[in-house]
Structure 1
Amino acid sequence: MQNPLQDGPLAERAAHLTRRQFFGRAATGVGAGVGTAALASILGPRALALGGKDSAAPGVLGPHFAPKAKRVIYLCMSGAPSQFETFDWKPKLRDMFDVELPDSIRKGQRITTMTSGQTRFPIAPSKFDFARHGEAGTEVCETLPWTAKMVDDLCVIRSVHTDAINHDPAITFMQTGSEQPGRPSFGAWLSYGLGTMNRDLPSFVVMTPKWKGRAEAQALYQRLWGSGFLPSEHQGVALRTGGDPVLYLKNPNGVDRKMRRRMLDVVAKLNEERAEEVGDPEIRARIEQYEMAFRMQTAVPDLTDLSNEPQSVLDLYGPDATVPGTYGASCLLARRLIERDVRFVQIYHRGWDQHGNLPTDLGNNCRDIDQPCYGLIQDLKNRGLLEDTLVIWGGEFGRTTYCQGALSKENYGRDHHPRCFSMWMAGAGVKAGQTYGATDDFSYNIVENPLSVYDLNATILHLLGLDHERLTYRYAGRDFRLTDVHGEVRQALLG
């Protein structure tokens, strides 16, 4: 049999290497010791780590200081959950049903085109009740009974705010630090800065499970977990909701694993030669992606095999834990990914954009995510993983206190509201059992401890041992960072 490494395309290509090409490459130093050192200074230590298949690959920076968190699970509620029906109780509104929202509260703030034509802005009190839970007496809506059981593990934040008033720029801002598409996502920044801890799985994994709320939902674009101008190896890898979680896990008929390995070796050698010629880091990223795909053929089936999960663990996540493509199953997979040292796991749950029929649709959403979130936190705690895993829950903005469309005490809708919304964090380094920030009696304006998205991201990076002002990448003549030129680490959120 022909040896492709000696007699095949590589040998044919080598025969066409001219004397001028040889000295041109030698002059640049690429391929020689000095050239390799120069290339390393450009690409960073991660590029040199790509040669090893059995060890973790460091990031270009590594942590700036000792991290509290090593991994992140980001639970993104796409569409923007209403703070009135989750974590921001406003009992005084019960006596203000259908009363016009005072101009002194609105202060001329902009509204969306969906309600700009309304002649009235009637207050819509929540039809749901709240109660205090845990040692700290955290107020949680009855829509989230499982979450209420674990409030002493959570830091509930009621004072997040953003500038974006429409979904696409708002969720893009939450995920990339910019309302304009094209920037690296949060997970890509972490992969770039800290590297991977498991060479057999991607450092950044994304899941977009099916949902049980309203049928319509905001679109999710791959750029939300893209690498932007960072090398493409740092982009998120999305697991599918049906069939094989990743395409092409199985080799084609007639191609065994040994043959696949030989094919990859030939392609890698060709790519390496091209990378030495032109010095393009994207070529080396491509080599790593091929290698990752090969390793995932073994790692992913093991990841998704739940046969060894005890029934008691499956019960934690609820009845959908073993149903592929559901939110419950995604949360269980998130724990299994974290257990295998995947750096960043993101789960997008859709359908929270409730402009009408909010009580019913939001109730369905909450039932979909409530027990799985509880199960995830308890499972991480039981395994000692919550000590160095940060879990984040939240959407892209909040909802208005006034009703959009027809109003009744049993049915109403709410428009977009960027001025304040609620999130929670749990796990490594977070001060648990507290409620941070406060809004006015209408949950319209923040009256205590406003927290911008830049501040939130700076604090998350701090928990991971990264100085948000030093995690930068030079592109188009300037140094970019996740927090742009903003952001303050909020020490009050840290335990």
Structure 2
Amino acid sequence: MTRDDGCQAGHGVHRRAFLSDMGMGFTGLALGSMLARDGVTRAESSTVWTPPTGDPHFTPKAKSVIWLFMNGGVSQVESFDPKPELTKYAGKSINETPYLDVQNPEKLKLARVTVINDANGQQRNKLYPLQVGFRKYGESGIELSDWVPHVGDCVDDLAVIRSMYTTDDNHGAQTQFHSGRHMLDGEFPTLGAWVHYGLGTLNDNLPQFISIGKREYWNAKDGHYLGPAHDAIPIRVDPGNPLDFGQPANGQTRAEQQVGFDLVGRLNRLKGVEYPDDPALNARIKAYELAFRMQTSVPDVLNLNIETEDTQKLYGLDDPATRDFGMQMLAARRFVEQGVRFIQVQHGAGGAGAWDAHGALKANHSGNFKAVDKPIAGLLKDLKQRGLLDSTIVLFASEFGRTPGSQGADGRDHHIFGFSVWMAGGGIKGGLVHGATDEIGFHAVENRHYVTDIHATILHQMGLDSRQLEVPGRKRLDIDHGKPILEILS
């Protein structure tokens, strides 16, 4: 059965393509079936959208991005925006402090909540004291938590942004930070997908967009309407098994696999002659060829044992508490070194996220920072000493912050009105603080930034104009594009 447009009903393969496949015999049918299975359909040449050329729109300052994402919500007041006033007024409701702003409906709402008892008869959202000390770090003298002493040593390379906000107060905000859109809006490409879509490869043997660490189902894809070709490739930091389906099947030797690959390559080139203007076909063929090359190249990058003992210690590989994340950070540096453009590292995924400290915040955050602080500092120091930090942007972020008030006896709830991230490298100024929250860390009150301002800043440094990347029929809102934070750029 065919439709009026000449396509087979339910399959989306054009009749012209089907007849051509018949002319190719079973080989053509096999490739055509494989492409259809992968969701690739051929379009008429008059309707084909020509994707970007792979060239930056203007001179870039950065070539690569390492995106460090802490799942669950990091407390801004116990990390990169210490607020001693919380300890001073601990146990009081906000309307018992000088900081109640009667013009601010959110603060009035918080004040009302504090006088309502919870099921246990305890008042909720009394201001909760800091659970850790803080001090000034570096020549810049920026105040940071005692839980980040190693990153503190690198503070003169950081731009700490203390004025972020978002709109999703549940963990779908993980998706929102990556894509800029609330989950209820639908599915939209992530920043990594836009970078992958906009720029060409730096290494033909490695994927240009990879993801390390577990991702939850609501934040597991990247390309969306750009297509699955722009999803991150999931990588395990295990040279023996780094990729799903990364080993030859049925006990094939590498030589035997090469023979089969050469045959498929010749057949693919025949198909390329037959369909020279089919970008989807060309993209899929390139993906199959890359998958083969990755079977050798990815394990080589992940062979961390060839690094010196001093380098391994720099990342904390000698300490069980820091070893796992340290391996991921060292792998990230090695991928950047080999020309991977966008490396997305998720820490603490699983359920809502390991940083989701509704209770026992002190134990939660001290343990999590113990795991990531030294490895992240090791990454920054190693990139810098190898001359790679100048061309690599490192971002530390979380989907939102945590409330200045308590939840239960010893936790903090989700908080979307003011939280912190930091950036380093790739033309980002170091040793500065941009933006501010109020005295108790509730609201971003100076230089407020929605999450897509981070996206815009990174794209700007990569030489990309997001408006030139728009896809026909997918008009983006102005807030989707964001605005570069020019104050932190050199």
**Shared fold, TM over 0.5:** yes
What SS is found at the alignment partner of 1:432?
Answer: coil
Aligned length, in residue pairs: 435
In 2, the alpha carbon distance for the partners of 1:399 and 1:272 equals 58
> Superposition pairs for residues 384-423 of structure 1, below 5 Å?
384-406=387-409, 412-423=410-421
In 1, the alpha carbon distance for the partners of 2:460 and 2:360 equals 40
Larger mean CA deviation between 269-278 and 419-428 belongs to 269-278
Of the three residues 362, 366, 370, the one matched with 1:363 is 366
1:42, distance to aligned residue in structure 2 (A): 3.5
In 2, the alpha carbon distance for the partners of 1:366 and 1:42 equals 46
Amino acid at match of 1:161: Y
Q: Contact 2:190–2:222 at 8 Å: present in 1 too?
A: yes
1:192 counterpart = 2:208:
no
1:449 counterpart = 2:456:
no
In 1, the alpha carbon distance for the partners of 2:219 and 2:264 equals 28
Q: Contact 1:187–1:225 at 8 Å: present in 2 too?
A: no
Q: Contact 1:320–1:328 at 8 Å: present in 2 too?
A: no
State the partner residue of 1:488.
483
1:236 counterpart = 2:232:
yes
State the partner residue of 1:303.
301
Query: CA 1:399 to 1:275, structure 2 compared with 1: closer, same or farther past 3 Å?
Result: farther
Q: Contact 2:142–2:155 at 8 Å: present in 1 too?
A: yes
In 2, the alpha carbon distance for the partners of 1:150 and 1:428 equals 15
1:377 counterpart = 2:370:
no
What SS is found at the alignment partner of 1:401?
Answer: coil
State the partner residue of 1:213.
none
1:493, distance to aligned residue in structure 2 (A): 1.1
In 2, the alpha carbon distance for the partners of 1:272 and 1:79 equals 50
1:91, distance to aligned residue in structure 2 (A): 1.2
Query: CA 1:446 to 1:258, structure 2 compared with 1: closer, same or farther past 3 Å?
Result: same
Query: CA 1:16 to 1:65, structure 2 compared with 1: closer, same or farther past 3 Å?
Result: closer
1:41, distance to aligned residue in structure 2 (A): 7.3
Amino acid at match of 1:60: T
Amino acid at match of 1:90: K
1:252, distance to aligned residue in structure 2 (A): 2.8
State the partner residue of 1:14.
24
What SS is found at the alignment partner of 1:391?
Answer: strand
1:462 counterpart = 2:467:
no
1:43 counterpart = 2:44:
no
Query: CA 1:285 to 1:456, structure 2 compared with 1: closer, same or farther past 3 Å?
Result: same
Cα-to-partner distance string for 1:433-469 (whole Å, 9 max, x where unaligned): 0011111111111221111112221111101111222
What SS is found at the alignment partner of 2:91?
Answer: coil
Q: Contact 1:323–1:329 at 8 Å: present in 2 too?
A: no
What SS is found at the alignment partner of 2:188?
Answer: coil
Superposition CA RMSD, Å: 3.2
Q: Contact 1:241–1:324 at 8 Å: present in 2 too?
A: no
1:304, distance to aligned residue in structure 2 (A): 1.3
State the partner residue of 1:248.
245
1:279, distance to aligned residue in structure 2 (A): 6.7
Query: CA 1:62 to 1:11, structure 2 compared with 1: closer, same or farther past 3 Å?
Result: closer
Query: CA 1:485 to 1:347, structure 2 compared with 1: closer, same or farther past 3 Å?
Result: closer
State the partner residue of 1:160.
164
Per the normalisation by structure 1, the TM-score is 0.80
State the partner residue of 1:53.
none
1:434 counterpart = 2:438:
no
Query: CA 1:437 to 1:275, structure 2 compared with 1: closer, same or farther past 3 Å?
Result: farther
Of the three residues 182, 204, 212, the one matched with 1:207 is 212
What SS is found at the alignment partner of 1:307?
Answer: helix
Q: Contact 1:64–1:467 at 8 Å: present in 2 too?
A: yes
Query: CA 1:76 to 1:260, structure 2 compared with 1: closer, same or farther past 3 Å?
Result: same
Q: Contact 2:272–2:282 at 8 Å: present in 1 too?
A: no
Query: CA 1:152 to 1:254, structure 2 compared with 1: closer, same or farther past 3 Å?
Result: closer
In 2, the alpha carbon distance for the partners of 1:324 and 1:306 equals 15
1:394, distance to aligned residue in structure 2 (A): 1.0
Stretches of structure 1 that go unaligned for 5 or more consecutive residues are 1-9, 18-34, 45-58, 210-218, 407-411
Amino acid at match of 2:169: I
1:12, distance to aligned residue in structure 2 (A): 8.2
In 2, the alpha carbon distance for the partners of 1:64 and 1:328 equals 35
Amino acid at match of 2:213: T
Cα-to-partner distance string for 1:83-116 (whole Å, 9 max, x where unaligned): 11101111122221110123537624678xx999
Sequence identity percentage = 38
Larger mean CA deviation between 351-360 and 325-334 belongs to 325-334
